[in-house]
A and B are shown apart, each in its own frame.
Chain A
Amino acid sequence: MKIFKVTLRYFINSLEQNISGPTVFLLFFTSKLLRYALFMSFLYYLGTGVKLIGGYTWEQMLFFYLIFILIDTIVQMFFREVYRFRSLVVTGGFDMVLAKPFPPLVRCLLGGPDFIDLGVLVILSIVIIYFTSVYIHPSLSQTLSFFLMLSNAFIVATAFHILVLAIGILTLSVDHLVMVYRDLTALVRIPVDLFTEPVRSLITFVIPVGLMFTFPAKTLLGLLSPSLILFSFIFAICYLLFALKFWHFALRRYSSASS
């Protein structure tokens, strides 16, 4: 209960900070919408000259991209604090986090959400609902499986960000690591099936961005078998457990670099 209350306080503080600068809010909001609209227009335009892209229609390609944005936006919104973690470690500010009676992992993951993405999320949800009802027509079981796979994606994303934090503790010289994660995820703006081996397996099971972003969309399209759904869940939980172990391992090696 205490963790929940403190985390809620972090959220409220971040929200107040976000709305205190309406111009920044508006700039990021419009820029992000513009970025998504431009890439979607590009995919749509490709669809006018190309019938199938790796076996997918342009509607399906657009749908994969919409689901990519949905997951990416939610993950970025909640885990924004991870982007500020390195400066916390190199300045010694992380000592203060450790000294407080609050789980440092929760503080470093959820301590500074970015609610600028909330506006994007609302618009995106409306677009996805419209697009799904017009082009996809999923069954009830597909819809339920989709939400299951969506939660699975967030488990993988959490594990990913924990790993980034842990590596941040072990190697102080790395400040591009979370951006490497961002670029890896940007790979799967297109379905993971479009990649050839061994890249496909690498980004599905080793660095499971494919599992995070492509699998939920495939579930709603009815293209993912139940056995793969089950496997994804087991994989995600194992991945999270591994990330937690690694976090504790890294914490034991933290040496308060700058204080």
Chain B
Amino acid sequence: MRKYFTVFAIDWQNQFIYRLNFILWRFRNVLRVLMTYYLWISIFSSQTSVFGYTKEQMIAYLLLALFISSLVTSSPSNDNVGGEVSNGTLNNFLVKPIGYLRYWFTRDLSSKLINIIFAVGEISLLYIIFRPSLYVSPNLISLLLLVSAVIIYFLLGKLAISIVFWAPENTWGFMFTILVLMEMFTGLIFPLDLLPHWAFSTLQFTPFPYLIYFPLASIIGKPVDLRILLQSFVWMGILYYLLKKVWAKGLKTYSASGI
């Protein structure tokens, strides 16, 4: 376990080397929220309630979505694992007493910590500007859903990237497909319960709403029961099992051809 703490500490320091890059990355996150914010503000300019949401509830939702996406989706492993497998750098890890996926999960956690710190600052600033009535009531279920979301995101990303073992040229294309689905179905742009009931129910059979929507809904006091938490854990289990199987199979075919 100590070696992973060291990885965490080194990665934490590394992130301060490319400061401008990091600031731009955070700026990009704020930009993404701005489009959604202005779209919803325009919608509420002609009516007080849309699909059951008031203006204040929607703005609060968007601000917290920024926070949760900072926690869940900041994952440098998604940008690096594919490249390391295809160019053979994975060899360096296979001969060391360290779990490759655990190593990257640790680095992801370090990235998440710094992103959360900045997200808190950004949200405070946006809060001062927009002054929404922010009602937050986190509980144990919210916390567990958040932890589960972080793990599901990691597992899902690595599962998609695992294609690199068989078709390295398709890795980014496959990941792009997953990212497109995440963009719409995680609840980052709009609360998923705006959708018709059948669509919302169908989405629960995918891992996407457990990434942002359900943790967020739970934090803002919407009814999110134990069943949802259980479903989230089931997805975590399914993805863990699949990743373990696929990664093991991938390692058997791995030939470090990039070296």
Contact = CB atoms under 8 A, between A and B. Distances in A.
Interface of A: 21, 23-24, 27-28, 30-32, 34-35, 38-39, 42, 45-46, 49-54, 171, 173-177, 179-180, 183-184, 186-190, 194-196, 199
Interface of B: 18, 20-21, 24-25, 27-28, 31-32, 34-35, 38-39, 41-43, 45-47, 50-51, 167, 169-170, 172-174, 176-177, 180-181, 183-184, 189-190, 194-195
A35 B25 contact: no
21 contacts: A23-B170, A27-B174, A38-B180, A49-B50, A54-B45, A174-B24, A176-B25, A176-B28, A179-B24, A180-B24, A180-B28, A183-B31, A186-B31, A186-B35, A187-B34, A187-B38, A190-B42, A194-B38, A194-B41, A195-B38, A196-B38
A8 to B, nearest CB: 26
Given A38-B180, A42-B190, A53-B43, A189 B35 contact: yes
Nearest to A25: B173
B131 to A, nearest CB: 14
Nearest to B47: A50
Given A27-B174, A180-B28, A35 B180 contact: yes
Nearest to B171: A24
Contacts of A31: 173, 176-177, 180
Contact of A27 (B18, B27, B42, B177): B177
Given A28-B173, A180-B27, A194 B42 contact: yes
Contacts of B27: 180
Q: Which of B27, B39, B47, B51 has the most CB of A within 10 A?
A: B39
A249 B249 CA distance: 53
Given A174-B24, A180-B24, A53 B39 contact: yes
Q: Is the interface of A mostly helix, strand, loop or mixed?
A: helix
A183 B28 contact: yes
Nearest to A182: B28
Contacts, number: 100
Contacts of A199: 34, 38
A190 B176 contact: no
A27 B177 CA distance: 7
Contact of B31 (A21, A30, A187, A196): A187
Closest 5 CB pairs of A and B: A27-B173, A54-B42, A176-B24, A183-B31, A194-B42
Contacts of B18: 173
A51 B50 CA distance: 11
B17 to A, nearest CB: 9
A130 B187 CA distance: 31
Nearest to A116: B173
Contacts of B45: 54
A48 B138 CA distance: 33
Contacts of B34: 187, 199
Given A54-B42, A54-B45, A184-B31, A27 B189 contact: no
Nearest to A43: B39
Given A24-B169, A186-B32, A190-B39, A173 B180 contact: no
B157 to A, nearest CB: 16
B69 to A, nearest CB: 14
B28 A190 contact: no
Contact of B51 (A39, A49, A51, A177): A49
A31 B177 CA distance: 5
A193 B43 CA distance: 13
B152 to A, nearest CB: 20
Contacts of B184: 35, 38-39, 42
B176 A27 contact: yes
A171 B28 CA distance: 18
B38 A27 contact: no
